[in-house]
Each structure stands twice: as C-alpha cells, then as structure tokens.
Amino acid sequence: SQQALVKHIQELSLISLIFSCAAILILVLLPKFVHSVFLARIIPLIVVISSIIIVAIFDLEQNSLKTVGTIPSGLPHFYFPSWDSELAFKLLPSAFMIAMISFVESLAIAQATALQKRDDLNSSQELIALGFANIAASINNGFAVSGSLSRTVVNSDAGAKTPISGVLSSLTMILVCLYFTGIFETLPLTVLAATILVSIWKLITIAPFIETWKYSKADGFAMLITFLGVTFIDISTGLIIGIGLTFIMLLWRVSRPHIAVIGLIEGTQHFRNVSRYDVITVPTIASFRIDENLSFLNAHVLKGYVITELSQNAEIRHVIINCSSISNIDLSALEMLEELNKELARLNIKLHLSEVKSPVMDRLRKSKLVDELTGEIFLSHYQAVQSISPIEKN
C-alpha cells in the first residue's frame, strides 16, 4: 500500500528498481515496433523467461532481488470438511460479505473486458460459475474464488477469444504445478508486477470520471470515493464503500422524487410540466405526475405536494395523479393514498388516478382503495381531464 511504500522507501533495492523499470519500458515500447501480432502478444512471456535466465546466470538472488521462491509441486488433495453447525453460523455473515464482494468485483471485471471486445455478458452465468468454482475450492483446501483483474487483462492481451483459453490456461497450470515449478523459482517479483501493471494500465481511463461528474455530481462523487478506497486501502474495502455510497444515494433519490404539476399542450393529448411548457390547465383540476415508484420513502412528499397546491388554489375540486412513471406502490404508499382519498373527500374534492400500469392495477384491485376511491381510474390522463371537464375540450 501507499503507507507501506512511504514507510519503507529507504529500503528500496536499486537492482529491483532497475529490473522493474526495464520490464515496464520493454512491455510498453517494444510492441509499438513489432509488426507481428503473434510476437507482440508473447512479449510478456519473453520478458519473463529472459528475466529468469538473467537471474540464474548472474545469481542475482544474492543481491537483494526478491524472486518468487520455492513453489510446492503437485496438485492439492481432496478434502471434504466435516459439518459444524455452530462454526457455519459463525462464518455465515463473513461468507455472505465475501460472496457479495467477489461477485461485484468479478462482474465489474467481466463487464470491462466484455465491453472492450463487444462480447455478450450473462451476469447469472458469472454467478453460477463463481459458485461452482468456490465449491471446488472448498474441497481442495483453497481460498474463496473470484475473478482476477490482473489475470483477466493478461489473458485478454494474449489474444484470448473464447472460454477455451481458460481451459488451456488451467491445463497449462496443472502441467507447471506437476513438473515445472522449479523453473519459476527465480522469476523476479518486480518483473511479475510489471507485467500485471502494464496490462491493467490499459483499463484505466480518466474520461469516465469527467463525464460522470458532468452528468451527475452525486455519481461522480461515489465513483471518486470508490476509486480512492480501492487505490489507497484495498479492493474489498473500496467496493464496500462504493456499494454503501450507492445505496445511500439510491435512498436519497427515492426519498426526493421529481413531482410535477402538469397541463395539456395545446393541439395534442400530451401533458407536460407547467413550469417548463406553455400548457392549458383547468382551474378546478390539479394534475400531478410523480416520476418515481411510490414507497414509504416518498409517499409523504407527494401528499405534501398535493396539500401545497390545494392551499394555493381554492377552486380545485379534482385531483388527478398521473401514474405513468409508477411501477410499484408499497403498503405505506397505499395507506397514504387511502388517507389522502378520505381527507380530500371531506373537502369535497375527488381523487382520480390515470395511466395506471397493469401490474400496479392488479395489486390495487386487492386493496380497499379501488372501491373507496371518490373519483375514477382512467386509461389516459387526457381522457381523465376531458371526462371531468368536457367544457374545456379544445
């Protein structure tokens, strides 16, 4: 991490720095001068093999150059853990968090690579694959499995096109683990890090930060905080911070929905915001459109909006709520509508609904609101206004 780098800067190894800088320069610059696609793709392999040979010839391990070191050969043994209910329940919260972070991280990696290659992406299939991979890891004494950004990018840069690349990589790893682990013992860690760094660097772009900030300050802030968390803390913590911020912003947006008083655009059957368009309104009708699902988070906001409008116009005798943007009404919002219907009835004001979606209507029919509604439910908002005030037809 950055803190460890600052703390141990005096322990910097000159030979390690030389190896890493040389590897980065070769990996970045050499492909620009190589015209063969095949040669350009195997440059990382050439760098790795060359570094192993150089370390072995000059015995650089004795000069403070850190290498991979001893790698145990062979394959892991199958081991089926015994079931312990107490331990399972104790580990369940942590396991759930690991699973969520692994899925989010793996899906983000898959989306980044799929977008660049214009491949199809099935998030459900990704989750199923992660599940089976973790089941396999659990019976082999392995760690929790998730997608690897570094390995994915290296695989992509090598020219991988289909899932068969993963199969071939796995078979190659099996052969290496069985017979060739000794070859990689002298591989400098700096070269390995340089290979991964150069591959990942291609995925880093500044433009999305700027575009997101211009489009939405809140989303831009969440992206920036997530990036800083991943960069200066670690991936898991950064993702948790990002997920938390996104959830908080979602609640904030739902609790502050856009609500508009709407009127008829002359010569059409379309209704738009009275503050944005030159529209026709009827003094006895107040038409509202809420651009959000109705829930306990925003039900009181809509009610307050209606009360404010009624207080400013004593002529209103009909309130129409345009439900074209509402896909769900939860119990708290339903109770609010029932209360609003009764309170308006005491003021001799009828409550109407228009453009209610079929799934929402199916649920409303199971409630008391449909039977007790003082007004009507209309197929379109134009039909509602024209039925209530036929004199105003144009």
Q: Is 146 exposed, middle or buried (0-12, 13-18, 19+ CB in 10 A)?
A: buried
Q: Could you give the CA distance from residue 237 to residue 225 in angstroms, rounded to a whole number?
A: 11
Q: Could you give the CA distance from residue 229 to residue 112 in angstroms, rounded to a whole number?
A: 19
Q: Is the pLDDT of residue 76 over 50?
A: yes
77-81, 156-160, 218-222, 370-374, range with greatest mean pLDDT: 370-374
- State residue 277 phi and psi, 5-degree precision: -130, 160
pLDDT of residue 272: 94
For the CA atoms of 299, 301, 307, 310, the dihedral, rounded to the nearest 10 degrees, stands at: -100
DSSP 20-49: HHHHHHHHHHHHHH---HHHHHTHHHHHHH
Q: Could you give the CA distance from residue 245 to residue 142 in angstroms, rounded to a whole number?
A: 32
pLDDT of residue 203: 67
How many Cβ atoms sit within 10 Å of the Cβ of residue 118?
A: 6
How many Cβ atoms sit within 10 Å of the Cβ of residue 242?
A: 19
**β-bridge partners, 272:** 263
pLDDT in tens, 213-259: 899 888 888 888 988 888 788 777 887 888 888 889 888 888 889 99
Instruction: Tell me the fold of 259-388.
Output: Transcription Regulator spoIIAA (3.30.750)
pLDDT of residue 286: 94
Q: Could you give the CA distance from residue 317 to residue 346 in angstroms, rounded to a whole number?
A: 11
How many Cβ atoms sit within 10 Å of the Cβ of residue 36?
A: 8
pLDDT-derived band at 336 (thresholds 50, 70, 90) equals: very high
Q: Cα 319 to the chain's mean position, in Å?
A: 39
Among 289, 307, 279, CA closest to 392: 279
CA–CA–CA angle 239, 1, 192 (5° rounding): 95
Name the percent of the chain lying above pLDDT 70: 94
Mean pLDDT, residues 348-364: 95
pLDDT of residue 394: 42
Q: Is the pLDDT of residue 268 over 60?
A: yes
Q: Cα 316 to the chain's mean position, in Å?
A: 45
Among 46, 241, 81, CA closest to 158: 46
Q: Could you give the CA distance from residue 310 to residue 307 in angstroms, rounded to a whole number?
A: 5
pLDDT in tens, 96-108: 878 887 787 788 7
Q: Could you give the CA distance from residue 359 to residue 379 in angstroms, rounded to a whole number?
A: 14
Contacts 24+ apart (CB under 8 A), 165-170: none
Q: Is the pLDDT of residue 370 over 90?
A: yes
298, two tokens: 């925003």
pLDDT in tens, 275-330: 999 999 999 999 999 999 999 999 999 999 999 999 999 899 999 999 999 999 99
pLDDT in tens, 199-221: 777 767 788 888 988 998 888 88
User: Taking the complete model, does pTM exceed 0.85, yes or no?
Assistant: no
CA–CA–CA angle 36, 39, 43 (5° rounding): 140
How many Cβ atoms sit within 10 Å of the Cβ of residue 241?
A: 17
**β-bridge partners, 321:** 288, 353
Among 202, 200, 225, 199, CA closest to 212: 225
pLDDT-derived band at 85 (thresholds 50, 70, 90) equals: confident
